Structure 1
Amino acid sequence: MDRELSNDLKGNIFQDDLLADLWGVNLEENLHFYYDESNNCRKFWIDSEKGDFNHNPEADFVLAGIACEEELQIPFSELIERFRLQKNVTELKSKSLFKGKDFLGCMEVRYTAALFKLIDDYDLYVHYKHINNFFYTIVEIMDSITDPEEIAEFGFDYFQLKSTLYNMLVPNISAVKEVMIKYHYPSIKKEEIGNFCTALLSTMEIRFNQSPDEKFLSGVLKRASGREELLFIQDEEEYLLQEDFSLFYAEPILKFTKSYHHFDEELSIQEKILDIVNMYSSNLTNYEFVNSKDNTMVQISDLVAGIMGRFFLFINATQSADFRRIIRGLSDVQLVNCCKLNELISKSDMRNKGLLHSITAIGILKKSVLFFEYVSAENKRRLKN
Structure 2
Amino acid sequence: MDVNELRDILIQHNGLKNTDEVYTFYYDETNNIRKLYLKDSGFNVNKTDNFILAGILHKGLSTDSDYSTLFKMINLQKSTHELKLKHIAKGDFLDMLKSDKLLIILNWLIENKFYIHYFNLNIVYWSVIDIIDSIVGELNNPFYIMNHMSLKSDFYELANSNSDVFLNALHEFNYPDIPEEKAHDFCLWLIDFTCMHSCMLSKFRANVLENLVKESLRIKELPFISGFHGRELIGSFMVFYLRNLYLFKNSIHIFDEEKSIQDDVKDFPLTDNGIPIQNHEFVKSHNSEAVQLSDVITGFLGKYFSYLKNISDEQLVRDKAGLTSKQLKTLSALKHIIDISDDISRGFFNVVSSEGEQRRNNQFLHGVKL
Please classify the TM superposition score into its range, dividing by the shorter chain length: 0.7 to 0.9
Q: Residues 1-385 of structure 1 correspond to what in structure 2 (within 5 A)?
A: 13-15=7-9, 18-21=12-15, 24-48=16-40, 50-57=41-48, 59-70=49-60, 71-72=62-63, 77-99=68-90, 101-147=91-137, 150-152=140-142, 156-206=146-196, 214-225=206-217, 229-278=221-270, 283-374=276-367
Q: Which amino acid aligns with 2:179?
A: K
Change beyond 3 A, Cα 1:193–1:67: same
- The one-letter code matched in structure 1 to 2:25 is F
Letter aligned with residue 263 of structure 1 = F
Structure 1's 66 and 202: CA in aligned 2 closer, same or farther, altered over 3 A? same
Q: Deviations over 1:298-350 (max 9, x none)?
A: 11011110011110000011111112321232222112111211111111111
Most deviating of 124-133 and 278-287: 278-287
Greater displacement, 167-176 / 222-231: 222-231
RMSD: 3.0
How far, CA to CA, are the matches of 1:95 and 1:247 in structure 2? 29
Is the 8 Å Cα contact of residues 41 and 55 (structure 1) preserved in structure 2? no
Deviation at 1:264, TM superposition (A): 1.0
| 1:235-259 C-alpha deviation (Å, 9 max, x unpaired) | 3223211111100100000001121
Contact 1:32 1:260 in 2 (8 A): yes
CA distance, structure 2, for counterparts of residue 25 and residue 78 of structure 1: 33
By how many angstroms is 1:272 displaced? Answer: 1.7
The alignment of Structure 1 onto Structure 2 pairs a total of residues equal to 365
In structure 2, the CA distance between the partners of 1:154 and 1:87, relative to structure 1 (3 Å rule), is closer
SS at match of 2:9: coil
Per the alignment, in what secondary structure is the counterpart of residue 128 of structure 1? strand
Cα deviation 1:333-382 (Å, max 9, x = unaligned): 112111211111111111111111111123321210111245x99xxxxx
Return the letter of the residue paired with 1:45: Y
- CA deviation after TM superposition for structure 1 residue 277, in Å: 4.1
| Displacement of 1:266 | 1.3
Contact 2:96/2:300, CA 8 A, preserved across alignment: yes
- Do the aligned residues in 1 keep the contact of 2:38 with 2:232 (CA within 8 Å)? yes
The one-letter code matched in structure 2 to 1:283 is P
Separation (CA, whole Å) in 2 of partners of 1:94 and 1:113: 13
1:383 maps to: none
Rounded to whole Å, the distance in 2 between the matches of 1:274 and 1:214 is: 46
Q: 1:367 to 1:352 in 2, by over 3 A?
A: same
Report the more deviating stretch, 288-297 or 205-214.
205-214
- Contact 1:46 1:54 (C-alpha < 8 Å) held by counterparts: no
Kept after mapping to 1: 8 A contact 2:23/2:251: yes
1:357–1:12 Cα change, 3 Å = farther
- Counterpart CA distance in 1 for 2:67 and 2:59 is 20
1:98 counterpart letter in structure 2:
A
Q: What TM-score does the superposition give when structure 2 sets the normalisation length? A: 0.87
Letter in 2 for 1:19: H
- Counterpart residue type for residue 369 of structure 1: N
Q: Secondary structure at the match of 1:147?
A: helix
Task: Report the CA distance shift for 1:232/1:269 in structure 2 as closer, same or farther (over 3 A).
Answer: same
Pair 303,149 (structure 1): closer, same or farther in 2 beyond 3 Å: same
Secondary structure of 2:316's counterpart equals helix
CA distance in 2, matches of 1:154, 1:299: 44
* Residue type at the aligned position of 1:368: N
- C-alpha separation between the residues in 1 aligned to 2:340 and 2:294? 17
**TM-score, length basis structure 1:** 0.84
Cα separation, 1, equivalents of 2:140 and 2:72: 59
CA contact (8 A) 1:31 1:259 kept: yes
Q: What secondary structure sits across from 2:78 in the alignment?
A: coil
Letter in 1 for 2:294: S
Query: CA offsets per residue over residues 147-199 of structure 1, 9 Å max, x none?
Result: 17713266634444433433443332332212112222112222222222222
Indicate the percent of aligned positions where both proteins have the same amino acid: 26
